[in-house]
Amino acid sequence: MDLVVTGSVGIDTIETPDEQRVENLLGGSCAYFAAAASFYTRPGIVAVVGSDFPAEHRALLEAFNIDTKGLEVREGRTFRWGGRYHENMDERDTLFTELNVLGGESPRVPPSYQEAPLLFLANAPPAVQHAFLQHFPRRELVVADTMNLWIQNEKEALLKLLKEVDGLVLNEEEAEQLTGLRNTVAAAKELLTYGPSFVVVKKGEHGCLFAHKEGIGALPAYPAERVLDPTGAGDTFAGGLLGFLAAKMNGTQMKKLTFDILKRALLHATIMSSFTIEAFSLDRLQRLTKGELAARVREYERMLHL
Amino acid sequence: MDLVVTGSVGIDTIETPDEQRVENLLGGSCAYFAAAASFYTRPGIVAVVGSDFPAEHRALLEAFNIDTKGLEVREGRTFRWGGRYHENMDERDTLFTELNVLGGESPRVPPSYQEAPLLFLANAPPAVQHAFLQHFPRRELVVADTMNLWIQNEKEALLKLLKEVDGLVLNEEEAEQLTGLRNTVAAAKELLTYGPSFVVVKKGEHGCLFAHKEGIGALPAYPAERVLDPTGAGDTFAGGLLGFLAAKMNGTQMKKLTFDILKRALLHATIMSSFTIEAFSLDRLQRLTKGELAARVREYERMLHL
């Protein structure tokens, strides 16, 4: 196994600006990440769900060719999240968050996962993310996400974690909050001094900005005319990024990830998230063919060919 | 003469978030546009200033190799504008706007300008922009800017103007206001149906999005770590765009501006505005060498080479 992700698998309720309310959607960072990564490799997920987790949701994950040995079922209710999007699709309100089984012990890591060189730590308390690393003695490249809550309440643990990771993905507000710098370029460069060898600032419809010791870069989003549900865009972005790296690099290369390989991986991250937002949950990725993916990658390359 | 711009030349007061207040700066859309365009061609400006317009400001415009025959001096005070930037450098408050001589008759167009094939109509009342066109019987490519005030109060005149222009540049809020569409891609495409054969939506630090009958494109901004004063970024963007087109195309080509030439011109627009924001007024463009410009163009090309 080349790539393992840990984070949440849950059941989402989404309200869109046109008053549509959709319930019982498969969601969670692990689900989105792994679905995207599955276009490049067979990822393993480490997450916990409750005894109410629908069989069809598990079947869907497996249909993506995701290894679900690490998807632990525990007595109780599955993590549930509800969000309502504003008209511009850029802002959202959290309607509710029920941690349920996610509030308990960390899930077990299957022995077959433990040789994985590539890890993604989706948003979770930094101490939990940190503890996860001990299970992977052969890790070569670790990328982490985080959120405003941990920056505010668990900053010390987060800074400790950042010394152990190779890459950090976060959004603009988080980059500013963590560094105190209003300028996104300055914030991304500053974050390199915290430990990671690369930092990617996700800007939603405005693309991404990235800092690497070889330089600074920026890529636009794929111009999307119809955005139905942006949920999971950030996690599928990360899934495209790490999925691509898993497919293209061996262990030695990972430790010296170049600017050019990172940029190439970010192209795939960008395209993956552009599909996700076209439908609810994993609906669009479920229908996505390798041909459509390749065609959009080529279209985006042409768009940026100067 | 290949390129003529009409708009304002004025005297600006700028307040930056670090409490710096700078007065008596050369400003106005024409000044910024023409300074940027002067790196590619010798542009002519059509604008009016008061009898108080400082000789050193005129000398500076001439030092840029701008043709100032169309810079008419009229009894009275020069247009003055003051703005204060918020900490994020993205938003600003207008401190004052004194139209002064700008409120009178339109300036005369020198006979030597009237064969120009390429025109830029900087922000002005749409009827004034429209009337300007009659002086240019050989115009091949006309690009216009506008602002929220005209969209709100002069929409009919603006829509009439748009039928006569080849290109429109505007910001995100204006694109939304003019079309009623929240999605920027959808808004840009919709604007193509209003008359222009290309539309460029300027997004400041997030780059630009453009619509053309051959397709949709997006380019990131050059990642700028230090932004001292964003004033004039949009006008220098337009100056780089049209300056490049003036240098690269003959009249026949202008009428069939391709997606690829537009994209190439937008690269130069992007780089030009990245220099402007590094200092107040035209200070950075004044010091800018062709070597520095070419180097940053290459750096940006490398950044986007996938």
Strand locations in A86-205 (E) = 92-98, 118-121, 141-145, 167-171, 198-202
Q: Which residues in B lie closer than 8 A to residue A263 (C-beta atoms)?
A: 303, 306
Give the mean model confidence (pLDDT) for residues B258-273. Answer: 97
Inter-CA distances, B97 with A155, A301, B241, Å:
45, 44, 27
Burial A153-191 (b: 16+ CB within 10 A, else e): ebeebbeebbeebbbbbbbbebbbbbbebbbbbbbbbbb
CA–CA separation, A241 and A104 (whole Å): 30
CA distance A285 to A233: 11
Give B226 to chain A, closest Cα distance, Å: 8
In angstroms, what CA-CA distances link A268 with A36, A300, B107, B219?
10, 10, 52, 17
ipTM of the assembly? 0.91
CB B49 within 8 A of CB B101: yes
β-pair type (A3-6, A44-50):
parallel
Interface contact B304-A216, CB threshold 8 A:
no
Secondary structure (3-state) at B22:
strand
Mutation for testing the B interface, residue in A172, A177, A185 having most B CBs under 10 Å: A185
Greatest pairwise CA separation for chain A in angstroms: 56
Contact criterion met (CB < 8 Å) for B87 and A263: no
Identify all chain A residues contacting B189, using CB atoms and an 8 Å cutoff: 225
Collect all residues with Cβ–Cβ distance below 8 Å to B166 and sequence separation of at least 6.
B141, B142, B143, B196, B197, B198, B254, B255, B257
Residues in B closer than 8 angstroms to A189, CB to CB, are 225
For residue A264, what is the nearest residue in chain B, using CA coordinates?
A: B306
What sign for the dihedral angle of Cα A297, A302, A305, A306?
negative
Query: What is the C-alpha to C-alpha distance for residues B194 and B164, in angstroms, rounded to an integer?
Result: 10
Tokens 């002069």 belong to B154
Average pLDDT per block of 10 residues along chain A, 306 residues long: 97 90 97 98 98 97 97 97 88 93 94 96 97 96 96 97 98 97 96 98 97 96 94 97 92 80 97 97 97 98 93
From the list B207, B228, B215, B168, the residue with the least C-alpha distance to B300 is B207
pLDDT in tens, B18-65: 878 999 999 999 999 999 999 999 999 999 999 999 999 999 999 999
Half-sphere exposure of A254 (CA within 13 A, CB side): 26
Contacts of A301 in chain B (CB under 8 A): 306
Report the residue of A225, A244, A298, A305 to disrupt the B interface, i.e. the one with the largest count of B CBs within 10 Å: A225
CA distance to partner chain B, nearest, from residue A215 (Å): 9
Query: Is pLDDT above 70 for B199?
Result: yes
Asked whether the beta carbons of residue B223 and residue A205 sit closer than 8 angstroms, the reply is: no
Most B CBs within 10 Å, among A208, A299, A304, to test the B interface: A304
Residue B253: pLDDT above 90?
A: no
**Which of A206, A263, A267 lies closest to B203 in CB terms?**
A206
Rounded Cα distance between A247 and A240, Å, is: 11
The predicted structure's pLDDT at residue B251: 62
Q: List the strands of the sheet with B80-85, edge to edge.
A: B21-27, B10-15, B80-85, B92-98
**For residues B109 and B146, what is the distance between their CA atoms, to the nearest angstrom?**
21
What is the number of CB-based contacts under 8 A between chain A and chain B? 87
Residues of chain A contacting residue B185, judged by C-beta atoms under 8 Å apart? 223-225
Closest CA–CA distance from residue B21 to any residue of chain A (Å): 20
Tell me what pLDDT residue A118 has.
96
pLDDT attached to residue A249? 82
- Rg of chain A over CA atoms, in angstroms? 18
Q: Which residues of A touch B301 (CB under 8 A)?
A: 306
Radius of gyration, alpha carbons of chain B:
18
DSSP B117-165: SEEEE-SS-HHHHHHHGGG-TT--EEEEE--HHHHHH-HHHHHHHHTT-
SS3 A34: helix
Out of B88, B89, B220, closest to residue A219 by CB? B220
Closest partner residue to B263 (CB to CB) among A182, A185, A306 is A306
Cα–Cα distances (Å) from B213 to B23, B92, B181, B254, in that order, read 44, 34, 19, 15
**B272 CA to chain A: closest CA distance, Å?**
16
- The answer to whether B85 and B17 are in contact (CB under 8 A) is yes
C-alpha B237, offset from chain centre: 6
Under a CB-based contact definition with an 8 Å cutoff, are residues B161 and B119 in contact?
Answer: no
What is the C-alpha separation between B215 and A128, in angstroms, rounded? 46
Residue contact A220–B209, C-beta within 8 A:
yes
Query: Is A205 in contact with B221 (Cβ distance < 8 A)?
Result: no
**Phi then psi for B190, rounded to 5 degrees?**
-60, -40
pLDDT of residue B239: 98
Residues of chain B with C-beta less than 8 angstroms from the C-beta of A244? none
pLDDT at position A252 is: 67
Q: Quick check: A223 and B88 CB within 8 A?
A: no
- pLDDT tens across B76-103, in order? 999 999 999 988 787 899 999 999 999 9
Whether the Cβ atoms of residue B145 and residue B123 lie closer than 8 Å to each other: yes
Of B183, B206, B225, the CB nearest to A185: B225
The pLDDT mean for chain B works out to 95
A218–B223 C-beta distance less than 8 A = yes
Can you tell me the distance from the alpha carbon of A274 to that of A269, in angstroms, rounded to the nearest whole number?
9
Task: Among B186, B203, B304, select the one facing A225 at the smallest CB separation.
Answer: B186
